[in-house]
């Protein structure tokens, strides 16, 4: 009965919960957290749909195999850093598929920045940072009395630093004719059609 209700009303029940902290950090441009009725969600879904189709995913298997070999090599030669190797494996797979850039070592600048960003983002969305979604009045408090707003700003800076470094890497590769077939390359090719800005 619940499933039938949810299926019948999927347009009303399938949306993600709104998190003001995510909105403040992303500037409303992070489609994974956008409402399914928003322009950002529709544009984001349209841009990744063909790239995540089953036949397209199969094209990424060589990347996953390469990263798996690197992961196993790292674990065999340095098992005490297993968690760092797992983090590098995940990040490198994602950044190669999305941006055409590998992360070869867990202590590389991109890996360190990613780990720092994830820790900061986790703190940012934690209710203990500021229950702004429960007490909306808190979002109107000036930053000097609202330490969570400084946390949001710092998290946004980390996010933009990571995103723009990867985006610029992809743009440079495209300009120099060294394409890898990454998702962002395809999005850059369809930028006007999809209505994407550089921040998206």
CA–CA separation, 190 and 89 (whole Å) = 29
The domains of the chain are located at 54-194
Q: Are 121 and 155 in contact (CB under 8 A)?
A: yes
Residues with Cβ within 8 Å of residue 62, at least 6 apart in sequence: none
| Pairwise pLDDT comparison (117 vs 197), residue with the higher score | 117
DSSP string, 76-109: HH-GGGHHHHHHHHHHHHHHHHHHS-----TTSH
- Per-residue pLDDT band for 6 (boundaries 50, 70, 90) equals low
Closest listed residue to residue 139, CA positions, set 2, 21, 9: 21
Closest listed residue to residue 48, CA positions, set 91, 94, 7: 94
Residue 200 has pLDDT above 70, yes or no: no
- Per-residue pLDDT band for 67 (boundaries 50, 70, 90) equals very high
Q: Could you give the dihedral angle defined by the CA atoms of residues 178, 90, 34 and 121, in that order, rounded to the nearest 10 degrees?
A: -110
Token digits of residue 172: 């440079």
For the stretch 83-99, pLDDT in tens is 999 999 999 999 999 99
Q: Are 100 and 170 in contact (CB under 8 A)?
A: yes
């Amino acid at each position: 009965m619940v499933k039938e209700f949810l299926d019948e009303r999927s347009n009303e029940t399938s949306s993600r919960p709104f998190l003001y902290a995510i909105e403040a950090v992303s500037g409303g441009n992070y489609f994974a957290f956008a409402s399914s009725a928003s322009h950002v969600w529709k544009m984001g879904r349209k841009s990744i749909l063909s790239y995540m189709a089953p036949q397209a995913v199969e094209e990424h298997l060589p990347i996953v195999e390469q990263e798996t070999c690197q992961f196993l090599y790292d674990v065999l030669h340095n098992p005490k850093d297993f968690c760092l190797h797992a983090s590098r494996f995940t990040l490198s797979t994602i950044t190669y598929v999305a941006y055409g850039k590998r992360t070869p070592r867990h202590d590389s600048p991109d890996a360190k920045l990613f780990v720092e960003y994830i820790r900061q983002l986790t703190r940012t969305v934690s209710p203990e940072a500021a229950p702004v979604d429960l007490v909306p009045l808190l979002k109107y408090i000036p930053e000097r009395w609202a330490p969570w707003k400084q946390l949001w700003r710092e998290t946004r800076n980390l996010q933009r630093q990571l995103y723009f470094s990867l985006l610029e890497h992809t743009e440079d590769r495209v300009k120099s004719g060294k394409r890898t077939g990454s998702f962002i390359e395809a999005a850059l090719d369809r930028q006007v059609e999809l209505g994407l800005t550089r921040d998206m």
